[in-house]
Amino acid sequence: MAAHLIILLLFSVLKGVHSITTVSKVSVKAGKSISIPCLYESQYKNHVKYLCEGYYWTYCRYAVKTNEADPSGKYLISDDKKQNIFNVTINQLAHKNTDYWCAVEINDGQDYRQYFQLSVTSGTPSLYVDQMITGYFRENITIICHHSNSGEMKWCRLGRNCVAGSSGSIDGTTVTTHMRDPNVFTVKMSGLKSDDSGWYWCAEGDIQIPVYLNVTVKPITTTTPTTTTASITISTTVHTVATMEQGKNSTVGENKQHRASFDPRILIIPLSVLIWIVIVVLFIWFILRHKQRKADSSVTLMAEEEIIYSDVRPQKKGLAKVDKEVTYSEVRLNEKGKRSFAESEMEILYSSVVTKQRMKRGDGKDTGVALEHIS
């Protein structure tokens, strides 16, 4: 019975030790930030996760928990329940911030935890790489790991296998590595899949640096049709203006024709407007001309009708029967200008009317008497 209890206790301790997977040692420069992924088992998805600071587990203190935010802003924590990974970010690192634990709360037992160490340096870290990189679906990506030591280089995925040689594969994705340049470890992943998104690390000896790879669809860049249309319109306008300025210079016109084609349809609207204006002007001119002619005709008729005839009356003096000869003269109106009769300057010539009468005397002889009557 005692042996059975010992074996159960050892199994529980081992299970607690290996229930969380994370990096072991990370080199980082003082004053910078670092993100650490902590992989846990799926059955602890809804448990509280936290970061504990201190070398000894018994004496470590809470730094930040998933159910409580850090008011100071030095620590950040997030839980990705789809990948069963919670991430902790430590800002403004100092030399005293070196020992931490990733932990999961267990309600009826001891919390599961995993220790990691930060090697905070004043100068350049012994191993560094961009922690956040983006790759495109079905394409290749190259990761550059800078190092200063001569330890063995590896490329690993959190909770999976590693590629230590010149080539290998991780979850079916081909991985090739080389060290052609001094202090540069190059990793190439070919034919990326959406499942390749996740946390990896670049390792040199016992130093590791976590890297998050985000695989996404490459955006398609297209030129907007509006810009192209506007460019064609501007080019056509410039060509039209240049052609009008050069007049009959056909050679230059033909050379510019290769750069921007002239569309005769753009002249339809201006020509239509011009023709419409000409028609309206001609119509107005015709109306005014017609009214002017009508007014002139009225003036002429009035001038012709205003003729005053003199009244010729014979004087009767109880004489004998008088034979009268009446001579009428023509009355002419001289006009100056074609204006209304009231405004016309006319010279009216009156002529005398002579009446010749023959009078019979008592002796039977005629007496010629000429009477002149002026009107």
DSSP 8-state assignment for residue 42: G
CATH for the 14-121 domain, from 3.30.70.1230, 2.60.120.10, 2.60.40.10, 2.60.120.620: 2.60.40.10
**Is 285 a residue whose pLDDT tops 80?**
yes
Q: Which residue has the tokens 């007049």?
A: 247
Question: pLDDT tens digit string along 84-114?
Answer: 999 999 999 998 889 999 999 998 889 999 9
Of 29 and 152, the structure prediction assigns the larger pLDDT to: 29
* Class of domain 127-216 (CATH, top level): mainly beta
- Contacts (Cβ under 8 Å, ≥6 apart) of 109: 12
Question: pLDDT tens digit string along 51-73?
Answer: 999 999 999 999 999 998 888 88
Most confident of 151-155, 338-342, 370-374: 151-155
Res. 293 pLDDT band, cuts 50 70 90: confident
Q: Where in the chain is the domain with CATH 2.60.40.10?
A: 14-121, 127-216
Of 90 and 304, the structure prediction assigns the larger pLDDT to: 90
Closest by alpha carbon to 107, among 47, 197, 26?
Answer: 47
**Is 334 a residue whose pLDDT tops 80?**
no
- Residue 300: both structure tokens together: 């002429």
Question: What would the mean pLDDT of 168-179 be, rounded to a whole number?
Answer: 93
Q: Which residue has the tokens 């000429």?
A: 370
CA Rg value for the chain: 60
Res. 268 pLDDT band, cuts 50 70 90: confident
If DSSP codes are grouped into helix, strand and coil, which group holds residue 249? coil
Question: pLDDT tens digit string along 2-39?
Answer: 343 343 334 444 444 458 999 999 999 999 999 999 99
pTM of the model: 0.55
pLDDT at 3 (0 to 100): 41
pLDDT at 298 (0 to 100): 65
Query: 304-312: long-range contacts (C-beta < 8 A, 24 or more apart)?
Result: 304/333, 306/333, 306/341, 307/331, 307/333, 308/348, 310/350, 310/353, 310/373, 310/374, 310/375, 311/375, 312/353, 312/355, 312/373, 312/375
**Is 138 a residue whose pLDDT tops 90?**
yes
Phi, psi of 256 (to 5 degrees): -75, -20
**Mean confidence (pLDDT) of the chain:** 75
Q: Is residue 52 within 8 Å of residue 28, measured between CB atoms?
A: no
Question: What would the mean pLDDT of 137-144 be, rounded to a whole number?
Answer: 95
- Contacts (Cβ under 8 Å, ≥6 apart) of 1: none
Rounded Cα distance between 343 and 219, Å, is 90
- Strand-pairing partners, residue 163, are 155
Rounded Cα distance between 313 and 316, Å, is 9
If DSSP codes are grouped into helix, strand and coil, which group holds residue 255? helix
Cα torsion angle, 225, 228, 234, 240, sign:
negative
Rounded Cα distance between 36 and 22, Å, is 8
Res. 180 pLDDT band, cuts 50 70 90: confident
Q: Is residue 320 within 8 Å of residue 357, measured between CB atoms?
A: no
Of 147 and 221, the structure prediction assigns the larger pLDDT to: 147
